[in-house]
Structures are given as C-alpha cells and as structure tokens.
Structure 1
C-alpha cells in the first residue's frame, strides 16, 4: 500500500503541471486580458473627461493611452516580463503553495477562495447528505420490489427530477414559495438574515436552515436518480449471486440475507464513492443556482474571474481543486482496498 500511495503521489506532479501549463498558455494569450481592459477603461475615462471638461484640460481620447501608462499597467499585472518568465515564477510559487494575488479583489487568492467556500460547502454538503439519505434506501426498496408498481412510479419520479434542470426547478420554487407569485414562505436570497448576529444560537440554526431550503432543494433533486439507480442495480446484481441463492436455500430469512450479506457487498461502491461525490459537489459550484438565489460562492467566483480575466484566481483555484480532486481519487482507491480486501493495488494500477 505504501509503495502504491507514493507512486500515485509522484504521478500527481506531472498531472498538475500539465493542467496548469495548458491553462496558463490559454489564458495568457486570449484577447481582452487585464491590460487591455485597463487601457479600455482609461480611454473611456479620457473621452468623458475631454467631453465634459473645460479650461486648460486637453482632450487626449483620440491619442489613446500614454505609452508610459501602458508600461505601468503591464508592470502592475506582471505582464512586463516574458511569458516563460511568468510561467516559471508561477510554478515556483505554486510549489510553495503561494497562489498569488487577485487582480481585482486586492487580496490573496487563498483569501478569496476561503471567503467563497462556505456557500459552496453548504450546498455541496447538504446535497450529498440528502442524496444518500434518500437515494440509498429508495434504491434498496426498488431492488427488493423490482418490476412492481412502486419501482415504476419511483423511477418516473427520480428520472423526471433528473431531467428538469436545477435552475428551472429553482425558478419554480421561488415562484411558489419565495413570494414570486403565490406564497412568501422562504427567503429569496442569501444564507442568513441581516440580523443574523443578533440572534440566539438556536435562532441562528433556524435562520440558516430557513434560508437553505430552496437552494438545496433545487440542487439535490437532480442527483437522486444517479445514486438511486446505482444502488438498485448494485443490489440486484448482488441478489442474483450464488452466495445469496445458497443462503436462501439453507433457509436463511430473506431480511437477514439482505441486510447481513447483500448490503455489506453492495454498499462498497457507494461508500468508496462518497468522498469523491462530496468533493465534487462543493468544488464544482453551481453558477445558475448561486445566481438565482443570490449566493456568492465558487460558481460565481469562477464565472467572474474568467470574465474579468483575473488570471491568478483562475489558475490558483484550478491548481488547488485539481490537487484536491487527485488526492480524493487516491483516498477513494485506498477505501476500496480497506473495505474489500479482495481488491489488490496492482489491479487498481490497471
């Protein structure tokens, strides 16, 4: 196990370098970078000043931006150095886990990401917890009642939820329960109320839960189908195995066979996939859900960073989340072996 883990950790290095390198050269040479955006703002400012100014102020709008100002802007954003120099400096900084400074937030990328994570963690954590709480028992019930009316009806329900985009369902929830057309039951925006700090501990919990009902519901409904169908198919596969038929032939009660034998083997892919599901849920960030419910999370940050060409945030967050994803995949592989000793590390390599 130790050798396998070391090997996987070493393989993460070229993977990270490849992802960051590709993204760096794509972002550095696309048009409309921070230097061009700043120059555009200066030109517009000069034009407005020339049109509305008087006295001895000269109009420079037609002359563009002064070359000295352009050099200062390039130095401000680090574009006064060749791309290769900037790239090597970025790799050195990332090796020390220094993600740099945001162009527009005027603080470190670490601070920017930390300020946005609570929203994404909230949505991701509740989405994963509710998905497993609902989908695993439902999948087991569907497997036991395979082909029944219950199985058909629940399949239609979860697949309908999967087919409806989350933001569309969110609009429907706001219209029904957010005061849009019918009832004002839940708040329309934010994770907490304006007077959150003045509330008691119990009041803060209730206020928090009151705010997350609609966004979490909009996020989680589409996830039920995947875990439910996976659970059902896994249980059906285990129920048809020889050891189950042998236990039933020896007179073992159906309930004991299901919960003592089938559950232990069928739960392996569900348990080992839980870390990756959680990490993926809160790192991806749902831009549309966050925008719809006025939540300032990672989805909104990623979108704004790309639009503004805030390259340190784009590259830093990509580096961090790629690293977390690779580590999570390694943890999932180790969990497979710990849960099921029949799996060997040499098989995981293949």
Structure 2
C-alpha cells in the first residue's frame, strides 16, 4: 500500500471520529444544568452562584424567577441560545473548519487567541518534561539492562519506583514546602515563570531567572513519566538481549559494545520511537492542570478546568476540538514512525 494512500485513508477515517466526539459532547452540554444563561440570571439577582447554579432544574427555575422575560431573551441572544441546538451545532462546525473556535463567554476574546496566549506556559513545562525524560531515562534504562541484577540496578530501581509512587502534585507540594519558602528553605519562587522585572534583566539574567522559576514545576512533572520510560527502556533492551541473534553475534566474536549499539540498540528503540509523538504531545497536557494550579501557572490545563466550571462552552468545545484533532494526528504519526523504525512492518497490517 502506498504511503500517501494510507495517509489519505487515515485522514478520511479521522473525520467521523472527530465529528462523533464533537457531536456527543455538544449533545451532553445541552442537558447540563447551570449554563451561562442561568448563571447570568442568578448573578443579576445577587445570589450565590456556587450554591444555586449547580442544583439542577429547581435552581434553574429559581434563577429565572422574578426576571423580566424580555431580559431573559436578551441574555439568551447574547450567548446564542436563542437559536435551535441543530443550528448552533451547524454554525459551530462551519467555524471549526476554518479554525474559528468562537468567542469566550467570560474572557470576551476569541477562543483561538485565548488558547495561543495560554500555550507558552504549557509548551514550556511540556518541552522540558519531554526532553529531560528521554535524555535521562533512555541511558539509565540501558545501563540498568546491561547491569541487571547488580547493586546499581537494585538501587536505581528503588529510587525510580519511589518517584513513580509519588503523584506529581504531591511532590510539587513537598518541593514548595521544602524549597519554595514554606517551612524550610526559600531557594525557589512560589509562582509564575518569570519575575516581575524580567524585561529589564540582561540576557544571562533572563535565562537564569527563567530556569530558576521552572525548576520546581518541571521536577514535579517529570517524576511519573521518568519512572515509566526508564523501566520501559530497561525491559525492552532485556527482551532484545535475550534473543537468538544476540547470542549469534557474540559467538561470531563481536565486542559487547558492537552487539549492544549496532544490533540491540536499533531493535530495542522501536517501541520508544513509535511512542515518541504521543509522549511529545502528552507532555504538554498530562497532569498539567494540577501542576499549573499548584505553581500558579496560567496555561491550557487551568484554562480547560475553569471553562468547564464556568460553563464557558465555546472554550470547552474549542479546546476539545483542538485536543482531539491533535490526538488523531499524533496517532497517525506514531504509526508512520513505526514503519520508519521497522521497515518489515507493512501499511496493510497497520490499516487492519
């Protein structure tokens, strides 16, 4: 099967998947109580939106009670709820085709511009998490596989598994308490990616200030993925080292380094390479909400959470559309990487 035909086929299969995710989420939203219209009416009456807006149909009725019907219709028109659901869904789909994700109800700005403004924070944490995970975990996993059963393997496994058992946000709290000016040391800042006077600093000062701020968030983010990647690398190399072709290469008199890096290394990296796109994208979003909230970082994770709580439907649907589209593209890239890493794999087998 030609590669371009395979890519075209996968893209055509993405469309119904993307449509289904958006349609199901849009349908669910129609039945969620305490929407933007109800919250606006409750705020007009001066009530506590936290206690009234989430109580279902009764709170919705009390929210509208005593408000002029013309005013209710104005608020519906403001948020676009004066139109039938089918018409609103169709307009949303047409906008998505041109990446017009709508306008936020609460931020009063385009969703696409809002996402782009929050993206640098998530990209910063994601890139550092991704590169540190691969640059440290892969060499460590290889070293553990080569020295299996040694004291180094046992001690490093204990450290890695302890780090894996501690959730990232718990580690983040610990780091803040110990090193962020809590009860012990004040070596690192509590919040933000840069200081208030960052623009006035020299180039070296900006780099130093930036690294100073991201140290604790990145450490908290790396903990879980670091352990998984290390053990995956070790087990993958062990599986390859025990195969017959390795024994044959050693019997031919090849040095251990040639056996390891010329034969084992290429085959063992296949699972790691195929997971490369997913790990790269996952580093931006996995666990970002808790880390961003803990360290007061205004990124995509915090934006998504706040949009759900506030019933900011354009942001909810817009970010869902982007994340789903990215996920489908990353899945395709993962399959292409698999073929690139192992030419024995054919596109016919991936298409099944």
TM bucket normalised to smaller: over 0.9
Q: What's the Cα RMSD here?
A: 1.6
- In structure 1, the residue matched to 2:347 is 345
Does the C-alpha gap of structure 1 residues 301 and 285 become closer, same or farther in structure 2, counting only changes over 3 Å?
farther
**Per-residue CA shift, 1:188-237, capped at 9, x if unaligned?**
10000000111112211111111000000011011111111110111011
- In structure 1, the residue matched to 2:276 is 274
* Rounded Cα–Cα distance in structure 2 between residues aligned with 1:285 and 1:77: 31
The runs of at least 4 consecutive aligned structure 1 residues that moved more than 3 Å come to none
- In structure 2, the residue matched to 1:109 is 111
- In structure 1, the residue matched to 2:176 is 174
Q: CA deviation at 1:96?
A: 2.0
* Rounded Cα–Cα distance in structure 2 between residues aligned with 1:277 and 1:243: 30
**Per-residue CA shift, 1:223-272, capped at 9, x if unaligned?**
11111111011101111112111110011111111011111111122122
* Rounded Cα–Cα distance in structure 1 between residues aligned with 2:319 and 2:64: 39
Matches within 5 A, 1:267-346: 267-284=269-286, 286-346=288-348
Q: Secondary structure at 1:106's aligned position in 2?
A: coil
For structure 2, which runs of at least 5 residues remain unmatched after alignment? Answer: 49-62
Matches within 5 A, 1:198-277: 198-277=200-279
Q: CA deviation at 1:63?
A: 6.0
For structure 1, which runs of at least 5 residues remain unmatched after alignment? Answer: 48-60
Are 2:102 and 1:123 equivalent residues in the alignment?
A: no
* Rounded Cα–Cα distance in structure 2 between residues aligned with 1:87 and 1:145: 58
Q: Which has the larger radius of gyration?
A: 1
Are 2:91 and 1:89 equivalent residues in the alignment?
A: yes
Does the C-alpha gap of structure 1 residues 39 and 140 become closer, same or farther in structure 2, counting only changes over 3 Å?
same
User: Is the CA contact 1:140–1:232 (under 8 Å) kept in the aligned structure 2?
Assistant: yes
TM-score (norm 2): 0.93
- In structure 1, the residue matched to 2:6 is 4
Matches within 5 A, 1:11-26: 11-26=13-28
- In structure 2, the residue matched to 1:53 is none
* Rounded Cα–Cα distance in structure 1 between residues aligned with 2:152 and 2:256: 19
* Rounded Cα–Cα distance in structure 2 between residues aligned with 1:305 and 1:319: 14
TM-score (norm 1): 0.93
- In structure 2, the residue matched to 1:133 is 135
Q: Secondary structure at 2:30's aligned position in 1?
A: helix
- In structure 1, the residue matched to 2:160 is 158
* Rounded Cα–Cα distance in structure 2 between residues aligned with 1:132 and 1:335: 17
